[in-house]
Amino acid sequence: MPPEFARSLSDSHCGRQAASQFAKARSQPSFCLPPRLSRGLSAVGALPPQVRQFVEQSAATCRPDKVHVCDGSAEENRRLLELLQQQGTAQPLPKYSNCWLARTDPADVARVEGRTFVCTPRMRDAVPAGGAASGQLGNWMSPEDMRAAVSQRLPGCMAGRTMYVIPFSMGPLGSPLAKIGVELTDSPYVACSMRVMTHVSAAVLEALASGEQFVRCLHSVGRPAQPRASARRGWPCDPERTIILHKPDSNEIVSYGSGYGGNSLLGKKCLALRLGSCMARREGWLAEHMLILGITTPAGRKRYVAAAFPSACGKTNLAMMQPSLPGYKVECVGDDIAWMRFDEQGRLRAINPERGFFGVAPGTSSSTNPNAMRTIFSNTLFTNVAATSDGGVFWEGLESELPEGVAVTDWLGQPWERGSGRPAAHPNSRFCTPAEQCPIIDPVWQAPEGVPIDAILFGGRRPEGVPLVYEALSWRHGVFVGAAMRSEATAAAEHKGKVIMHDPFAMRPFFGYNFGQYLAHWCSMERRGGSKMPKIFHVNWFRKDSQGRFLWPGYGENCRVLDWVLRRVEGEDIALGSAVGLLPKPGSLRLDGLRETPDLQQLFSLPKSFWAQEVEDIGRYFEQQVGEDLPGEISEELQALRQRIAQM
Ligand code: O2Y
Ligand code: MN
């Protein structure tokens, strides 16, 4: 149990009851283990003292029937999957090798931003002056309210279940850029998924035995106060009381009520981004929502690029891109998160702290992402995709790959027909698959020192006004470009239309601290990198013409933009100043071999009225959401952009 919560609970009636029951349980055969997972018994006693204390205190509150310490082995995984099958949570997919399909409760299908909180003594440490306690740039909760939320939910929440103790490393164990966590969960599905997404092993416990710090992650799928009429067998959850809490001061996470993705795989968004961004600020590095790719030019020069995109912009597709330009090679380091730190030579180095991909299934196909398709048909846990009668999976986008005569069962377990008007797979259905299976995984993706980053891309889905690519005028201007990121998204259910949403650095749901301070931290990075700062660019693959047709082919053709970016990194004189940044000089963007010549005039035009409106929208957003926490450097950049646009 995290120290803060343990204190509050032991003060409460429930806490006292829990503690005495735990003491009783301990005088009986202490941690009883499921017969088939019995290797954990001795392991509890052998845990490093600080981990053992966390386990014992949490067990005293959550009161699981059994405790199992995970070792991450293949045998343990096999048994957990067998258990998931017995419980009706997952079924094997005989068409593939060791692939499984889990179906969640329909009320537990995605991250829940409104129930995700950062808990700090002062609200201003978590959210900027401009916003409210619950606003666009995060939700704040006081430590007292957090304690109350925990004590209303956790006591007895694991009764009848096993608590799995998952020691994990984010990043290769032993890397100076890696961090250790221990997740306690009552979900065997989470235990299996954490093994794919992070480095789970007994070696992590050995590192902890020599005194390393760790992030305390406590997760329960929960236990509703009243039985839910619509509950699904095999997927316990408590959607009405779901809550995800982060305490940056003490590196603690408590997640209750949901077994799904970002809510329950606590190494990912909770540790690697929310707490990660706080650790990064304290320790002078960057924890970002970015893919990392390696790209080798026909001349054999290899460079690495990190890129931040909001959801629905094809981040995983870009991370695994098959470049169309002859002689180019792209290799994948990571598709979602980058931890980046300047080394002693002033070079920015990045690791992917994850070990797997938790990718969106719908839309992934042999034409959009052939490398993902070559990754996911072994050792993969699919969630909420549709099943086929030949023992396989199906989702929207795979229509042309569905064998003749095969019947489809939708994500809810109902027979499904094409043209029924319902999706076969849930739009947020996922594959959870080991990154090492990706055919283009970078040979040094696990290098403890990380890979050197030469360029950072920010991007968004912008149907109007924003050019295919432009380069920031300086690091500071680049930070402004990240802060001003916007992207087209489907609006809330009541409208269902498309709206342009602000999503600075693609981090909007993931800031662990005040966004104004985050911007100041980014600006301060210039002092660490000096002359070796990566160049910053903004890209937009999604500009449309007046008929609503995309002006750029995207996918593998995006390597033409990467080619221009890399040539800029090499210092080629191929850029021309504009009001928004540096644009490709005429003729410098490679178009050879394209089936259709794109309309470059439209693709790079900068309509004055659009940009005048854009700068006003950005200014209003900063004023309303960041207020006086906006660093002076960023307001100066905004003002400079306003002036350049006025002079257009
Ligand atoms: O809905 C979820 O829980 C998954 S969210 C997610 C998963 C993988 C990569 N990125 C994200 C995201 O929301 O950015
Ligand atoms: Mn993401």
**pLDDT by residue (tens digit) across 325-375?**
999 999 999 999 999 999 999 999 999 999 999 999 999 999 999 999 999
Within 8 A by CB and 6+ apart from 282, the residues are none
Q: Is the pLDDT of residue 5 over 80?
A: no
Residue with token string 């940009």: 611
Q: How far is the CA of 178 from the centre of ligand 1 (A)?
A: 21
> Quick one: average pLDDT of 619-627?
96
Q: Is the pLDDT of residue 131 over 90?
A: no
Q: How far is the CA of 130 from the centre of ligand 1 (A)?
A: 27
Q: Residue 188 and residue 37: Cα distance in Å, rounded?
A: 11
DSSP state of 171: S
Q: How far is the CA of 311 from the centre of ligand 1 (A)?
A: 8
> What is the bridge-based pairing of β-strands 356-360 and 430-434?
antiparallel
Say if CB 190 and CB 264 are below 8 A apart: yes
Q: Is the pLDDT of residue 11 over 60?
A: no
CA 445 to chain centre: 18
Q: Residue 235 and residue 108: Cα distance in Å, rounded?
A: 9
Q: Is 312 in the pocket of ligand 1 (CB under 6 A)?
A: no
Q: How confident is the model at residue 256 (pLDDT cuts 50, 70, 90)?
A: very high
Query: 184: closest CA among 139, 221, 236?
Result: 221
Report pLDDT for 597. 95
> Quick one: average pLDDT of 614-643?
97
Q: Is the pLDDT of residue 414 over 50?
A: yes
Q: What are 490's two structure tokens? A: 């489907």
Active site residue 269: yes
Output the CA angle 393-394-400, nearest 5 degrees: 125
Task: Say which of 68, 161, 199, 289 is annotated catalytic.
Answer: 289
Q: How far is the CA of 3 from the centre of ligand 1 (A)?
A: 29
30-39, 261-270, 573-582: range with lowest mean pLDDT: 30-39
Q: How confident is the model at residue 134 (pLDDT cuts 50, 70, 90)?
A: confident
Would you call 506 helix, strand, or coil by DSSP?
helix
Task: Say which of 66, 68, 111, 199 is annotated catalytic.
Answer: 111
Report pLDDT for 317. 96
Q: Which residues pair with 487 in a beta bridge?
A: 501
Task: State the Rg of the chain over Cα.
Answer: 25
Share of the chain above pLDDT 70, in %: 93
Q: How confident is the model at residue 192 (pLDDT cuts 50, 70, 90)?
A: very high
Q: Residue 620 and residue 422: Cα distance in Å, rounded?
A: 39
DSSP state of 298: T
Q: Is 310 in the pocket of ligand 1 (CB under 6 A)?
A: no
Nearest ligand, measured from the Cα of 288: 2
> Quick one: average pLDDT of 272-292?
98
> Quick one: average pLDDT of 174-202?
97
Report pLDDT for 43. 72
Task: Say which of 108, 186, 335, 336 is annotated catalytic.
Answer: 336
Q: How confident is the model at residue 44 (pLDDT cuts 50, 70, 90)?
A: confident
Q: Residue 134 and residue 381: Cα distance in Å, rounded?
A: 34
In whole numbers, what is the pLDDT of the chain averaged over residues? 93
Q: What are 439's two structure tokens? A: 């055919």
Report pLDDT for 493. 56
Q: Is 309 in the pocket of ligand 1 (CB under 6 A)?
A: no
CA neighbours within 13 Å on the CB side: how many for 243? 22
**End-to-end Cα, the chain, rounded Å:** 59
Report pLDDT for 497. 83
Report pLDDT for 381. 98
Report pLDDT for 612. 98
Say if CB 456 and CB 536 are below 8 A apart: yes
Query: 522: closest CA among 288, 352, 338?
Result: 288
Name the residue with the closest Cα to ligand 1, atom 10: 336
Residue 561 exposed, middle or buried by CB count within 10 Å (0-12, 13-18, 19+): buried
Name the residue with the closest Cα to ligand 1, atom 6: 262
Q: Is the pLDDT of residue 495 over 70?
A: no
